[in-house]
């Protein structure tokens, strides 16, 4: 009828054009397998951290080698425990939003909004830092001892951001292929460093063994310094939570999510320990702390003729981590929009590629704004503060759901005390630095997070809406050729 035709939106016709049959629904497709999941987790974790964070860990460990290596090991164990908690949530509720979706289900709309409000700034800022760091390592070899121009680095960082944003907005398979290639490259680079250290230790020269003979003989750091060291180490492990953001696109998530976690985290922990031991075999703790890029300094000592390989490898490593981080951030934006916490356009899918293209564009624009110089150590402290608060809330969500929804199907169940331990660890990592070494950045972070209430109350709680937004949405929908998903994944698990 004429009314029915008038009632149909443009996106309905776009859907009809792209569908081959009624079973072909407009939604994200399950195309990510076990091997792809392992590559995404390792690729997200292994970025710049292992090349920058050894400095922070040693510095806050007061150059105590034994304490530093113990913290690296403990960080690996904590990351695995957290990933196992997330595996239960991801298999029970395989939704694109990851932590956001789990917090919303267990704790309600307001905590979930505070999470996404914070994440929409901290995660793009982290991506911007990765892009700038990539630009630093990619351009510096061409300038020798001179510094590369800031403008050049910014332009290259923006180019990389938008190239990956467009790639992830067009093809999941292509983004997965890129992730696999760069994960293999970065693991080869870490293998060179790790094996090099083992060879030097086996030779048994005194100068290589001296740091390990009295590993705990230096001054022992206090609780506040240990917490700061944990921030630096856990920054290097950051990204173990990424798999849950792609749970909606995982093939057989009930099997592959736990298996992927149990493969990737122990592998990363082993490599990190080998690499740190290799650093300490060649360099003194003071040399590591004073080094801008520990891996490059190591290469200058051990393989000077091909030392240029390390900066290139670092750039490749950061590139891979940036790709996976942008992939997951797009899914977070997509899930937030489906829940009404972000503009509706962001939850639409491209009718040709069935990817969350608007979400990728949105998150890439925000990251582009953050392409400014920043102190990486300060950024990791700020990033750690907000991340671990949300990790604690997510693990608390697991506990709440265990008791509130006992009949919820859970293909994988973590040992419940592990969740309680993760909540306690998260609280310690958030509160200890604030109590023992208060800094203004923590207050700014808290005020920024609470500032989300100024947006939540009018636009989400009271549903304030402007008609002109609908016109803009319609225009952009036609321009980008996007359409709402038929059924949100969240609705399937209500």
28 touches 175 (CB < 8 A):
no
Q: What is the DSSP letter of 405?
A: -
Q: What count of other Cβ atoms lies within 10 Å of the Cβ of residue 461?
A: 12
Helix (H, G, I), strand (E, B) or coil at 348: strand
CA neighbor of 316 nearest in space, from 179, 445, 195: 179
- CA gyration radius, the chain: 23
Q: What count of other Cβ atoms lies within 10 Å of the Cβ of residue 455?
A: 12
Distance CA 41, CA 121 (A): 22
- CATH number of the CATH domain containing 240: 1.20.1740.10
**DSSP state string for 5-57:** HHH--HHHHHHHHH-SSTT--SS----B-HHHHHHHHHHHHSSSHHHHHHHHH
Residue 70 domain-assigned (yes or no): yes
Scored b (16 or more CB within 10 A) or e, 209-247 reads: eebeeeeeebeebeebbbbbbbbbbbbbbbbbbbbbbbb
Q: What count of other Cβ atoms lies within 10 Å of the Cβ of residue 183?
A: 27
Average pLDDT over residues 362-380: 71
Distance CA 383, CA 445 (A): 9
Q: What is the DSSP letter of 308?
A: T
Distance CA 343, CA 2 (A): 30
Residue 16 domain-assigned (yes or no): no
Residue 19 banded pLDDT, cuts 50, 70, 90 = very low
DSSP-H helix ranges across 223-252: 223-237
Name which of 163-172, 206-215, 351-360 the model is least confident about: 206-215
CA neighbor of 216 nearest in space, from 392, 12, 68, 40: 68
Per-residue model confidence (pLDDT) at position 492: 58
348 Cβ neighbours under 8 A, 6+ residues apart:
11, 356, 357, 358, 477, 480, 482, 483, 484, 485
Report the Cα 1 to chain-centroid distance in Å: 50
Distance CA 233, CA 249 (A): 30
Residue written as token pair 């094996």: 195
Residue written as token pair 């969350």: 356
Distance CA 67, CA 63 (A): 8
Residue 123 banded pLDDT, cuts 50, 70, 90 = confident
| Domain encompassing residue 81 | 29-484
Residue 5 domain-assigned (yes or no): no
Residue 330 domain-assigned (yes or no): yes
Taking the CA atoms of 465, 468, 471 and 476 in sequence, report the sign of the dihedral they define: negative
Helix (H, G, I), strand (E, B) or coil at 143: coil
DSSP-H helix ranges across 283-293: 285-290
Q: What is the DSSP letter of 142?
A: G
**DSSP state string for 313-362:** HHHHHHHHHHHHHHHHHHHHHHHHHHTTSS-GGGGEEETTT-S-HHHHHH
Residue 85 domain-assigned (yes or no): yes
User: pLDDT (tens digit, 9 = 90+) per residue, 54-96?
Assistant: 777 888 888 888 888 999 999 999 999 999 999 999 999 998 8
Taking the CA atoms of 365, 370, 371 and 376 in sequence, report the sign of the dihedral they define: negative
Residue 361 domain-assigned (yes or no): yes
Distance CA 352, CA 349 (A): 9
Helix (H, G, I), strand (E, B) or coil at 349: strand
Residue 356 domain-assigned (yes or no): yes
Average pLDDT over residues 365-377: 70
pTM comes to: 0.87
Residue 11 domain-assigned (yes or no): no
**DSSP state string for 413-457:** ---HHHHHHHHHHHHHHHHHHHHHS--HHHHHHHHHHHTTHHHHI
User: pLDDT (tens digit, 9 = 90+) per residue, 306-355?
Assistant: 777 887 888 888 899 999 999 999 999 999 999 999 999 999 998 888 88
**Region of residue 217 (left: phi > 0; alpha: psi -120 to 50; beta: else):** alpha
Q: Is the pLDDT of residue 20 over 60?
A: no
Q: Is the pLDDT of residue 9 over 80?
A: no
CA neighbor of 198 nearest in space, from 208, 186, 207, 189: 208
Number of domains in the chain: 1
Name which of 283-287, 331-335, 467-471 the model is least confident about: 283-287
**DSSP state string for 65-100:** HHHHHHHHHHHHHHHHHHHHHHHHHHHHS--TTTHH
141 or 99, which is more confident: 99
Residue 253 banded pLDDT, cuts 50, 70, 90 = very high
Percent of the chain topping pLDDT 90: 42
Entry field: residues in the chain: 494
């Amino acid at each position: 009828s004429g009314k029915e035709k008038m009632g149909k939106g443009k996106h309905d016709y776009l859907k009809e054009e792209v569908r081959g049959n009624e079973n072909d629904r407009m939604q994200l497709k399950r195309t990510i397998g076990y091997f792809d999941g392992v590559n995404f987790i390792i690729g997200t974790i292994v970025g710049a951290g292992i090349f920058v964070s050894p400095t922070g860990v040693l510095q806050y460990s007061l150059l105590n080698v034994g304490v530093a290596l113990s913290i690296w090991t403990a960080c690996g164990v904590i990351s695995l425990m957290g990933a196992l908690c997330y595996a239960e949530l991801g298999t029970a509720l395989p939704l694109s939003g990851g932590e956001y979706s789990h917090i919303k289900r267990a704790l309600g709309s307001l905590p979930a909004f505070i999470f996404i409000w914070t994440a929409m700034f901290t995660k793009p800022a982290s991506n911007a830092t990765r892009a700038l760091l990539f630009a630093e390592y990619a351009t510096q070899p061409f300038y020798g001892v001179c510094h590369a121009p800031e403008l050049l680095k910014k332009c290259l960082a923006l180019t990389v951001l938008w190239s990956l944003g467009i790639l992830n907005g067009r093809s999941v398979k292509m983004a997965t292929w890129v992730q696999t290639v760069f994960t293999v490259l970065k693991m080869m680079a870490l293998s060179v460093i790790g094996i090099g250290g083992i060879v030097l230790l086996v030779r048994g020269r005194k100068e290589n063994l001296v740091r390990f003979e009295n590993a705990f003989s230096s001054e022992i750091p206090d609780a506040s310094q240990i917490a700061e060291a944990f921030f630096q180490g856990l920054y290097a492990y950051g990204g173990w939570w990424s798999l849950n953001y792609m749970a909606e696109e995982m093939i057989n998530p009930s099997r592959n999510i736990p298996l992927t976690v149990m493969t990737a985290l122990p592998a990363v922990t082993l490599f990190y320990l080998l690499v740190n031991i290799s650093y300490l075999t060649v360099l003194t703790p003071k040399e590591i702390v004073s080094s801008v890029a520990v891996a490059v300094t190591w290469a200058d000592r051990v393989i000077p003729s091909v030392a240029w390989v390390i900066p290139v490898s670092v750039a490749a490593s950061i590139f891979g981590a940036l790709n996976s981080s942008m992939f997951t951030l797009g899914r977070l934006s997509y899930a937030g929009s489906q829940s009404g916490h972000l503009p509706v356009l962001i939850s639409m899918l491209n009718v040709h590629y069935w990817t969350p293209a608007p979400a990728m564009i949105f998150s890439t624009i925000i990251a582009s704004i953050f392409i400014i110089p920043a102190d990486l150590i300060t950024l990791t402290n700020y990033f750690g503060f907000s991340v671990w608060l949300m990790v604690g809330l997510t693990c608390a969500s697991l506990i709440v759901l265990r008791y509130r929804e006992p009949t919820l199907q859970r293909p994988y169940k973590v040992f419940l005390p592990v969740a309680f331990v993760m909540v306690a660890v998260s609280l310690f990592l958030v509160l200890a630095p604030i109590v023992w070494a208060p800094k203004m950045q923590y207050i700014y972070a808290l005020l920024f997070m609470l500032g989300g209430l100024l947006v939540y109350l009018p636009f989400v709680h009271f549903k304030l809406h402007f008609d002109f937004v609908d016109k803009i949405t319609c225009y952009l929908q036609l321009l980008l050729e996007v359409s709402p998903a038929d059924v949100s994944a969240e609705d399937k698990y209500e």
